[in-house]
């Protein structure tokens, strides 16, 4: 599943190539991929002729500001890739495969194509004059970005105070911090020496400071290498990132810990796999 670094990589790629090319049309091949508006005709009417002015990432959401040639705002296009969504930048002549859900044809004979094998990914068009969270309601529930000043060891301490739930579960909660998923939560817990099952409330200031630093470190490392190669994630040219080669614990069950050689263990937490080193993480 794409997490913050993968979505950030896609966002940067989109900002490099898709801007200032009016959307000339396209195809919606799977109607449920479009969350709003209900009317497909309204969707095309809303975005046709508009260009992407800038893409931004919020948590795992992508948000593009749309603008018309006369400079008037045309709302926003929101995208969430969920499990298997991909945005690819293609020559429109590229054969369309069975997982293609949406095609946006842009001026200059280029196409932004949305592929999604599992079909949980969604697109939203936010009409002009409406704030994106009014339409993309998941945005309302997002906690701070991991690189925002608001996200600090003190913030973590305040939010986790009195919480019995395992720290791994807390890190997956997008209301605590936006953008972390299974891979980077496992990796950050390894780097900070904290076992995933640790009750959140038992983490003191020094361990919270280590955890905060480890979250920023694993995300930075992955963004710098263009995301991971763990899943179906691809950048907008269909190329896998390479963070997978350096994972500490994620998806390494029974393999020796890279620090102490103890076999990595896996357990289930909140329905997800958690990977950890029983020696390095206490």
Closest CB to Zn ion among residues 77, 249: 249
Please say if 272 is a catalytic residue.
yes
- Cβ 264 to Zn ion shortest distance, Å: 8
The answer to the question of residue 255 lying near Zn ion (CB under 5 A) is no
The answer to the question of residue 264 lying near Zn ion (CB under 5 A) is no
# of chain residues touching Zn ion (CB under 5 A): 7
Please give the C-alpha separations between residue 148 and each of 212, 227, 273, in angstroms, as whole numbers: 12, 20, 28
By CB under 5 A, name the one of 105, 112, 257, 274 that touches Zn ion: 257
Please say if 150 is a catalytic residue.
no
Please say if 2 is a catalytic residue.
yes
By CB under 5 A, name the one of 16, 32, 279, 282 that touches Zn ion: 279
The answer to the question of residue 260 lying near Zn ion (CB under 5 A) is yes
State which residue has the least CB distance to Zn ion: 257
Single out the catalytic residue among 58, 60, 195, 207.
Answer: 60
The answer to the question of residue 259 lying near Zn ion (CB under 5 A) is yes
Residue 199 CA from chain centroid, whole number: 26
Distance CA 275, CA 252 (A): 7
Nearest residue to 173 (alpha-carbon basis) of 269, 242, 252: 269
Closest CB to Zn ion among residues 10, 280: 280
CA dihedral 66, 40, 27, 82 (to 10 degrees): 70
CB atoms within 10 A of CB 235: 19
By CB under 5 A, name the one of 47, 79, 81, 280 that touches Zn ion: 280
Q: Which range touches Zn ion (CB under 5 A), out of 77-85, 126-134, 203-211, 251-259?
A: 251-259
CB atoms within 10 A of CB 83: 14
Distance CA 56, CA 58 (A): 7
Please give the C-alpha separations between residue 3 and each of 8, 135, 205, 246, 259, in angstroms, as whole numbers: 9, 22, 27, 17, 25
The answer to the question of residue 215 lying near Zn ion (CB under 5 A) is no
Q: Which residues bind Zn ion (CB under 5 A)?
A: 257, 259-260, 262, 277, 279-280
Q: Which residues are catalytic?
A: 2-3, 60, 272
């Amino acid at each position: 599943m794409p997490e913050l670094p993968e979505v950030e990589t896609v966002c940067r790629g989109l900002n490099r190539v898709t801007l200032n090319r009016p959307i000339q049309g396209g195809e919606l091949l799977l109607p449920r991929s479009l969350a709003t508006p209900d009317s497909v005709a309204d969707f095309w009417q809303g975005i046709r002729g508009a260009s992407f002015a800038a893409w931004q990432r919020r948590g795992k959401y992508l948000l593009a500001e749309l603008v018309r040639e006369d400079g008037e705002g045309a709302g926003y296009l929101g995208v969430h890739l969920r499990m298997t969504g991909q945005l690819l930048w293609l020559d429109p002549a590229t054969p369309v495969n069975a997982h293609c859900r949406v095609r946006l044809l842009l001026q200059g004979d280029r196409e932004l194509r949305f592929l999604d094998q599992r079909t949980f990914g969604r697109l939203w068009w936010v009409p002009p004059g409406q704030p994106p969270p009014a339409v993309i309601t998941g945005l309302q529930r997002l906690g701070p970005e991991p690189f925002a000043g608001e996200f600090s060891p003190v913030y973590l301490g305040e939010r986790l105070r009195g919480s019995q739930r395992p720290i791994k579960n807390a890190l997956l909660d997008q209301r605590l911090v936006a953008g972390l998923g299974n891979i980077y939560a496992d990796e950050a817990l390894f780097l900070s020496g904290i076992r995933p099952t640790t009750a959140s409330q038992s983490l003191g200031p020094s361990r919270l400071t280590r955890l905060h630093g480890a979250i920023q470190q694993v995300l930075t490392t992955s963004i710098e290498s263009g995301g991971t190669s763990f899943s179906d994630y691809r950048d907008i040219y269909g190329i896998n990132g390479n963070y997978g080669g350096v994972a500490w614990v994620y998806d390494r069950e029974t393999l020796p810990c890279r620090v102490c050689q103890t076999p990595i263990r896996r357990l289930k937490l909140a329905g997800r796999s958690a990977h950890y080193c029983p020696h390095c993480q206490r």
